[in-house]
Amino acid sequence: MSDRVLSSHEAVAAPRQGTSAPWIWASASFLLVIGLTVATWWLNKTVPSWNKQLRVIEFPVYAVALGLLANGLLSLLGIRDRLVAYFRTEFFLKTGLVLLGASINLAEIVAFGAKGLVQAVILISSVFLFTWYVARWLGVEEKLRALLSASVAICGVSAAISAAGAVLAKKEQLAYVTGLVILFALPLMFFQPALAVWLNLSPEVAGAWIGGNIDTTAAVVGAGSIHSQQALKVASIAKLSQNALIGVVAFLLALYWVVVVERNPGQRPSAWQIWERFPKFVLGFILASIVVTLGLANGWIVKATVRDLQRLREWFFIAAFLSIGYGLSVSGLRDAGWRPIAVYSLATVFNTVVALAAAWAIFG
Amino acid sequence: MALEEKGTRGISRLFTEDWLAVVAGLGLVALGLAGILKHIP
């Protein structure tokens, strides 16, 4: 299994490895993926019922942990490599990303009004560029830089996954950034509503601040509900406005990668080369988003259908993170070093300050 | 490059997981919109 999550060229070679294994190993691999996916889904559903504060720990944590556990146990038994056939990170992630497009209702940007769109555009562009340049200054590798920037600027895990697809990141990089997102969301979930009360912010400003700053949707809901019902409502809509722009960011990032980062020095890529290297899931994502937006606007899709697709997306993402855990190299994680943590910390402080200023100026 | 080789590369490129994921994802969206994927846990 290659260390790259999302390379279309490795993907051509991968099925041949799978089919060369005896059918019994392939069947066992399929059953193992299904079993571990169901186990992760159960943990993700059950653990928060033991303690509500644990709901900030999202499925990637359980999935990577179970994937790693299976990786270790089966390695000890000497059968890990024989069972690798159906741990298909690239396929699961990209299918999940197309399904993610189906949960992005572009009309929600309009529903929140110009205020929400202005806040989302200001925060995404300023936080993305700040994180990008701080990471470059600290010498963080450019793909990891893109994942860090997208996850802090937009919406954590989903944005990190979309950016990983757009720049063909390594699976260790995605696991690392997802871990950081969840780690940072936990203290913010408690700290930010308390600070909003201490600063005597109105529920609207507090909600816009929480939604504009905290990266994971679960932590946004947690922080909003700690403050007030009105703050929760505004925070959720502010978050949706930012989420709705994932497709735009993924598209621009993929284009930038193909046209600027990966081009041969002194050579201008042809339209065909751009098309060939461009990650096609972005098109599926945008198409799914447009269909669902039009369907909801015209009443031929109900919200329950969108929720069904959201749940299906989660199953694909669980399988993807399990596959990441199954193929994770600890040395790959170690290679990333301490710098991404420093970048994420600085970016979170910057995001907190800019989101407060934007929320106060726009909603105050 | 031999025509046969070119053709094989073209076909394998067509079936990359990139495209497979787009087809699977949009197919599932279509099934969902048709109401076939109800009550997913």
pLDDT in tens, A197-238: 999 999 999 999 999 999 887 788 889 989 998 898 888 888
**Is B25 part of the contact surface with chain A (CB cutoff 8 Å)?**
yes
pLDDT higher than threshold 90 for residue A282: no
Written as six digits, the tokens of A290 are: 């447009």
Q: Determine the longest span between alpha carbons in chain B, in angstroms.
A: 51
Cα A3 to Cα A90: distance, rounded to the nearest angstrom: 11
**A164/chain B closest Cα distance in angstroms:** 13
Say what angle helices A157-167 and A246-256 make with each other, to 10 degrees: 30
pLDDT at A335 over 80: no
Chain B residue numbers touching A283 (CB-CB < 8 A): 22
Residue percentage of chain B with pLDDT more than 70? 63
Q: Which of A62-66, A136-140, A181-185 has the lowest mean pLDDT?
A: A181-185
Lowest mean pLDDT among A98-112, A126-140, A170-184, A314-328: A98-112
Residue from A184, A132, A143, A62 nearest A335 by CA: A143
Does residue A2 lie within any of the structural domains? no
pLDDT category at A194 given cuts 50, 70, 90 is: very high
Q: Is the pLDDT of residue A74 over 90?
A: yes
Cβ neighbours of residue A196 under 8 Å, at least 6 residues apart? A205, A206, A209, A210, A227, A231
**Residues of chain B found within 8 Å of residue A41, distances taken between Cβ atoms:** 41
In a domain, residue A68? The reply is: yes
- Domain membership of residue A354 (yes or no) is yes
Contacts of B17 in chain A (CB under 8 A): 8, 11, 14, 88, 90-91, 94
Task: State residue B2's pLDDT score.
Answer: 40
The yes-or-no verdict on residue A11 having pLDDT over 50 is no
| Beta carbons of B22 and A96 less than 8 Å apart | no
CA angle A104, A109, A110 (to 5 degrees): 130
pLDDT at A66: 96
What string of DSSP letters covers A280-318? THHHHHHHHHHHHHHHHHHTSS-HHHHHHHHHHHHHHHH
Q: Select the residue of A41, A283, A295 nearest B22 (Cβ to Cβ).
A: A283
Q: What is the structure's pLDDT at A15? A: 44
**If you average pLDDT over residues A184-199, what whole number do you get?**
91
* C-alpha torsion A293→A168→B26→A21, nearest 10: -160
Task: Report the pLDDT value the prediction gives residue B6, as an integer from 0 to 100.
Answer: 42
Domain that holds residue A258: 8-363
pLDDT grade for A103, boundaries at 50, 70 and 90:
confident
In contact, B15 and A276? CB cutoff 8 Å: no
Q: Looking at this protein, which amino acid is placed at residue A80?
A: R
**What angle, rounded to 10 degrees, do the helices at A339-363 and A203-213 form?**
150
For the cut 60, the answer to whether the pLDDT of residue A13 exceeds it is no
SS3 A2: coil
A170: three-class secondary structure by DSSP: strand
B3 Cα distance to chain centroid: 25
Residue A350, pLDDT score? 97
Helices (H), chain B: 3-14, 17-33
Residue B31 near chain A (CB below 8 Å): no
Quickly list H helices, chain A: 8-20, 23-50, 59-77, 89-101, 107-111, 113-137, 142-150, 157-167, 171-198, 203-213, 217-227, 229-243, 246-256, 271-277, 281-298, 303-326, 330-336, 339-363
Closest residue in B to A302 (Cα) is B33
User: For residue A18, is pLDDT > 70?
Assistant: no
| Residue whose tokens read 């950016």 | A163
Structural domains counted in chain A: 1
Q: What is the pLDDT of residue A21?
A: 56
Cα separation, A128 vs A248, in Å, equals: 13
pLDDT tens profile A30-56: 999 999 999 999 999 999 888 877 777
- Spatial separation of the C-alpha atoms in residues A154 and A166, rounded to whole Å: 15
Size (chain B), residues: 41
What value, to the nearest 5°, has the Cα angle with vertex A246 and ends A280 and A279? 15
Residue A20's pLDDT is: 52
- Residue A109 pLDDT > 80, yes or no? no
Average pLDDT over chain A, rounded to an integer = 86
pLDDT for residue A111 = 66
